[in-house]
Amino acid sequence: MNLMKLEYFIEVAKYKSFTKAAQKCHVAQPAISQQIKSLEQDLGFELIDRASKQFKLTEAGRALYQDGIKLLNDFTYTVDKCRDISQKFSGTLNIGITGWDENAYVIELVSKLYKEYPGISVNYKRVKVSTVAADLLNREYDCTLTIPYDFTDHSEIRFQNFARCKAYTLVNKKNPLSKKQSLTKEEISSQNCIVLNLVGMERSKEHLISFFSEKGILPEKITSVEDMDIMNIYVGMNQGIAIVPEMCCEVKGLDMVKIPVEGGLEYIDMSVVYNKNNENPSLKYFLEVVRSEHKI
């Protein structure tokens, strides 16, 4: 199928007029009509109901119009991508680092970005979780890797999930539970559970507590803390246990162990969060890499 013919058809269907489509495409009306008839011959079915007094697409025509727009957009995107690769596209991507121990994910994704687009340079900036939305809207940086629950209904902020982390418990070595290979929901519920409650991301705490409840984990006591350092102090003092995503389980040099939840428990999404109106090509290609790594 000739893409030019499809483009002409899309314009005719969009304006519901051969004349307007011809003006838009800067060609004569008879040429547009001829190309549409040629497209119908190529496909083997009619796209326009010529028996109707008013402009009307056939059912097949409506389907081609809807899917054809995406097809043309995808083709344009692919051509632009190939052109950028052939011309050794260079650009800059600025990533905000929130301190959620996302380092391993950043290194993995950016390494894959470098492999496909070696001309892109990446800068990193320490950012506050509480100002992520405002920072992205102000173009302080292009994206950040974090949990997405505080952005689910934001009109301008979008996110692309790429992983769902397994949950582990952090337990002080002096706690009798530290000797176990895995912890039951009942054993976890019997402890003071330390939960992250980052400023500006209160919905994330609500999500975690709701998730625990759905899974039958009902702690006798919950202590909210503002960051991982304070969480580690509580656990290090044997004043509770923490349920954290796998990425936050760095226990080297700490008097604690990480123990899986019995039966396995996956409970937290990791996402790249970005401003939907950011047209930086480097961000576009980074999101493409992220989508290819989608592990959920």
Domain boundaries, the chain: 3-86, 91-161+270-292, 163-269
By percentage, how much of the chain surpasses pLDDT 90? 40
User: Is 3-86 assigned to CATH 3.10.180.10?
Assistant: no
**What number does CATH give the domain 163-269?**
3.40.190.10
Fold observed for domain 91-161+270-292: D-Maltodextrin-Binding Protein; domain 2 (3.40.190)
Centroid of chain to Cα 65: 28
DSSP bridge partners of 241: 193
80-133, pLDDT tens digit by residue? 777 777 767 788 999 999 876 678 889 999 999 999 888 899 999 998 877 888
Q: Full-prediction pTM beyond 0.85? A: no
Query: Burial of 162 by CB count in 10 Å (0-12 exposed, 13-18 middle, 19+ buried)?
Result: buried
Task: Give mean pLDDT, residues 222-244.
Answer: 85
Q: Is pLDDT above 70 for 213?
A: yes
Structure tokens at 97: 């680092």
pLDDT in tens, 134-172: 999 999 999 999 888 778 888 999 999 988 877 788 999
Residue 239 has pLDDT above 90, yes or no: yes
Decide whether 3-86 matches 91-161+270-292 in CATH topology: no
Cβ(286)–Cβ(121) below 8 Å:
no
Q: How many CB atoms lie within 10 A of CB 69?
A: 14
Phi/psi for 176 (5° steps) reads -55, -25
Please list, in sequence order, all residues whose beta carbon lies within 8 angstroms of the beta carbon of residue 290, skipping any fewer than 6 positions away. 109, 160, 162, 272
